[in-house]
């Protein structure tokens, strides 16, 4: 049973979400604002946070930033319909998934289960130690170094890089990566695009002219192993 923190200033939304998550067997705590969320995570850390973007006081993006500064707890963001910019920013600062309002509580519960499974199930791991030229991906330490220097990656960035390095030379569509890396049968393909861009900024000599994480036009992306 996982401990889930639900953060939303709409009591009705919290009530529905909490009910579905408890029906899925989770221990659920609910709060109505960003400050309370940070206090709750300090006093009794959750295994996953369901976080609304539009909160009074400290908004959801700032809460996510602070959570990322303090650790790797998975975060699923709740966003308003059409708030694409906020969704992209949320992904860029490390949110693991997002669900657009109005949403199906059943879909959200399935997303929570999927993210928890991906982040806690060791059976889904690829080889623990991967080396490609000056890049070392250490699954046991959940760390990546390039030329001996550590790279700061979010949990989702690490998962994507580890998967691609473990499968060099194979082209994957964005749908393939959503499913095989993060276990999502549904999801926004822009999630992959955002994280590919962020990884290129960290692993490529020139992110505008990638040599490792390549675009395969009409297909998706491929990792090119070092010679």
- β strands within 53-158, DSSP E: 75-80, 97-101, 129-132, 135-138, 143-146, 149-150
pLDDT at 123 over 60: no
Mean pLDDT of 186-212: 89
pLDDT band at 97 (very low <50, low <70, confident <90, very high): confident
pTM of the model as a whole: 0.61
Does residue 164 have a pLDDT over 80?
Answer: yes
The torsion angles phi and psi of 219, rounded to 5 degrees, stand at -125, -70
Query: For 117-124, what is the mean pLDDT?
Result: 62
The mean of the pLDDT values for the chain is 87
Confidence check: pLDDT of 163 > 50: yes
Q: What is the helix (H) or strand (E) element at residue 22, kind and residue range? A: helix 11-23
* pLDDT given at position 125: 47
The region of weakest confidence among 4-13, 73-82, 117-126, 196-205 is 117-126
- pLDDT at position 213 is 97
Query: What is the rounded average pLDDT of the residues 3-15?
Result: 95
Q: Output the pLDDT for position 91.
A: 73
Q: Give the integer Cα–Cα distance in Å for 18 and 6.
A: 7
Adjacency order of strands within the sheet including 213-216: 171-173, 220-223, 213-216
Instruction: List all residues 6 or more positions away from 170 whose beta carbon is below 8 Å from its beta carbon.
Output: 222, 223
Average pLDDT over residues 122-132: 68
Q: Are 73 and 49 in contact (CB under 8 A)?
A: yes
Structure tokens at 28: 């659920």
Nearest to 221 by CA among 173, 178, 181: 173
The contacts of residue 74 (CB under 8 Å, 6+ apart) are 47, 48, 49, 96, 115, 116, 119, 155
Decide if 9 contacts 56 (C-beta within 8 A). Answer: yes
Q: Which residues lie below 8 Å from residue 45, measured CB to CB, with a gap of 6+? A: 3, 71, 73
| Mean pLDDT calculated for residue range 149-175 | 91
In this prediction, residue 133 carries a pLDDT of: 92
Contact of 80 with 60, CB cutoff 8 Å: no
Lowest mean pLDDT among 13-22, 86-95, 152-161, 189-198: 86-95
Specify which residues 85 forms β-bridges with. Answer: none
Instruction: Indicate the range of 83-92, 110-119, 131-140 predicted with least confidence.
Output: 83-92
Higher pLDDT, residue 133 or 125? 133
Q: How far apart are CA 27 and CA 103, in angstroms?
A: 21
Give every CB contact of residue 5 below 8 A, 6+ residues apart in sequence: 28, 29, 30, 31, 37, 40, 41, 46, 48, 49, 50
User: Does the structure show a pLDDT above 50 at 87?
Assistant: yes
């Amino acid at each position: 049973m996982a401990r889930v923190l639900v953060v939303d200033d709409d009591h009705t939304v919290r009530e529905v979400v909490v009910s579905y998550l408890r029906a899925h067997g989770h221990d659920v705590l609910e709060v109505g604002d960003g400050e309370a969320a940070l206090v709750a995570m300090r006093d009794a850390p959750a295994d996953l946070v369901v976080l609304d973007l539009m909160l009074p006081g400290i908004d959801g993006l700032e809460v996510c930033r602070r959570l990322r500064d303090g650790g790797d707890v998975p975060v699923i963001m709740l966003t308003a319909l059409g708030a694409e910019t906020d969704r992209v920013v949320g992904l860029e600062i490390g949110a693991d998934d997002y669900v657009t309002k109005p949403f199906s509580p059943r879909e959200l519960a399935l997303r929570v289960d999927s993210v928890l499974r991906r982040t806690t199930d060791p059976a889904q791991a690829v080889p623990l130690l991967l080396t490609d030229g000056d890049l070392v991906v250490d699954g046991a330490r959940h760390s990546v170094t390039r030329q001996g220097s550590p790279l700061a990656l979010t949990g989702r960035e690490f998962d994507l890089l580890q998967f691609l390095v473990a499968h060099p030379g194979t082209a994957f569509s964005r749908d393939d990566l959503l499913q095989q890396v993060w276990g999502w049968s549904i999801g926004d393909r822009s999630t992959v695009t955002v994280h590919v861009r962020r990884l290129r900024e960290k692993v490529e000599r020139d992110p505008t002219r990638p040599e490792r994480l390549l675009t395969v036009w009409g297909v998706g992306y491929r990792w090119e192993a070092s010679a």
